[in-house]
Amino acid sequence: MRLLIASLLSLGIAACSADKASVSSDVKEAEQASNEHQVKEKKDFSIPDGPETGLSGWNELVVTTRNLDDWRSFLTLDAGWEERENGPIDPALSILWNMPEDVVGTETVFANIGADKGTIRFVELEGIEQDYIRVDDRPWDTGGYFDFNVRVAGLNALREKMIDRGWQGDSQPIQYTFGPFEVIEWIARGPDGVRVAFIERLKPTLEGWPNLKVMSRVFNCTQMVTDMDAARAFFEGVLGMQTYLEHNGASKVAGPNVLGLPFETATQVPRDVYILHPQGVNDGSIELVKFEGASGVDLSSKAKAYNYGLSVARWPVEDLEQTIAAIKERGGEFTSDVVELSLIGVGKIKAISMAAPDGALIEIYQVID
């Protein structure tokens, strides 16, 4: 979420700061503008060829929540989303999530009205001790998923409502320009320790998002990583993903930034950023961020699906067995066996789980009914 480009560098802003879902011509112009601000040469990094995995982008995120009502009020009353499905979890989820078999719970799906992807499934559990995946953390702490990204219309008005609900930002909203684009962005933490990057295009008018009324579907999620080479080897080498955007750099000028870095530190600490997707687009993509020379707490051990927070990204495929075989041939390992279960709003699926190097959980599934 932190692509460092052009004037963004002067603010210390990274990828999600860079109006990430813009069309490819936007991206090319921004990349060209940023070249003069790179602070080090790119490392040589090669990914061996392997069989096609059959993956496209993830289409659903899972938030394991302590209080669904907090999310329901925000999403339906403030963000313009709808509640689509609600019901008990399938007992087989305990196998996929490595939980005791007597754990029970409910799952509820929320979505931007009119959207068929970028949804969020909230899971409430009973019968298991739970912790928070990311709480009392800072952006440079690693482990699990750091945030998810949405587009908004009327950020300042939405922010006022969110502050009343107890949300808090890593910084104030930051307005900036790059090339012909004027953008405002705010990264804020809400219930369950979950951060959201809210991005509003001010000028020129945003096109291609017909369902955006207040808050769009989710289109990207971010991980803060300890070892960029290891993370890239997993997502590119094992999962066969391609680069949508990459950059390395520190802020050109000390000043406010969406990550809440001290102003002077932002000019001294380069950030490596890669946005990856199986087809190289920014829709259901994964963003990797590494702070060079600034380390924090490793929270990867808390990245369990049953812990509170942004817990899982779910990736649909047409042929799960073929995907599993391809991933294994590429050197991948899984954290579960194939499990058959039902998901509210999806139907019967078979799914398997794996973990990224910094603990972020991935579930790959095929609809079978």
The pLDDT tens digits of the residues spanning 91-145 come to: 999 999 999 999 999 999 999 999 999 999 999 999 999 999 999 999 999 999 9
pTM of the predicted protein model: 0.89
Kindly tell me if the per-residue pLDDT of 9 is higher than 60: no
* Residue with token string 């502050």: 163
Domain segments of the chain as ranges: 6-40+134-291, 60-133+310-367
Kindly tell me if the per-residue pLDDT of 57 is higher than 70: yes
CA separation for the pair 284, 218 (Å, rounded): 8
CA separation for the pair 259, 185 (Å, rounded): 11
The dihedrals phi and psi of 190, each to the nearest 5 degrees, come to -120, -145
CA distances from 296 to 63, 138, 146, 224, 293 (A): 24, 8, 13, 10, 10
The residue-averaged pLDDT of 205-219 equals 95
pLDDT tens, 255-307? 999 899 999 999 999 999 999 999 999 999 999 999 998 899 999 999 999 99
Instruction: Return the pLDDT at 287.
Output: 97
The lowest-confidence range among 247-251, 290-294, 347-351, 357-361 is: 247-251
The residue-averaged pLDDT of 43-55 equals 76
User: Is residue 260 within 8 Å of residue 35, measured between CB atoms?
Assistant: no
- Asked if the domains 6-40+134-291 and 60-133+310-367 are classified in one and the same CATH topology, the answer is yes
- Exposure b/e, 194-221, CB count within 10 A at least 16 = b: bbbbbbbbeeeebeebeebbbbbbbbbb
- For the chain, what percent of residues have pLDDT higher than 90? 81
In CATH terms, the superfamily for domain 6-40+134-291 is 2,3-Dihydroxybiphenyl 1,2-Dioxygenase, domain 1 (3.10.180.10)
The CATH number corresponding to 60-133+310-367 among 3.10.180.10, 3.40.50.10190, 3.40.50.410, 3.90.730.10 equals 3.10.180.10
Q: Any alpha helices (H) in the chain, and if so which ranges?
A: 6-11, 24-34, 68-73, 93-96, 155-164, 228-232, 265-268, 320-329
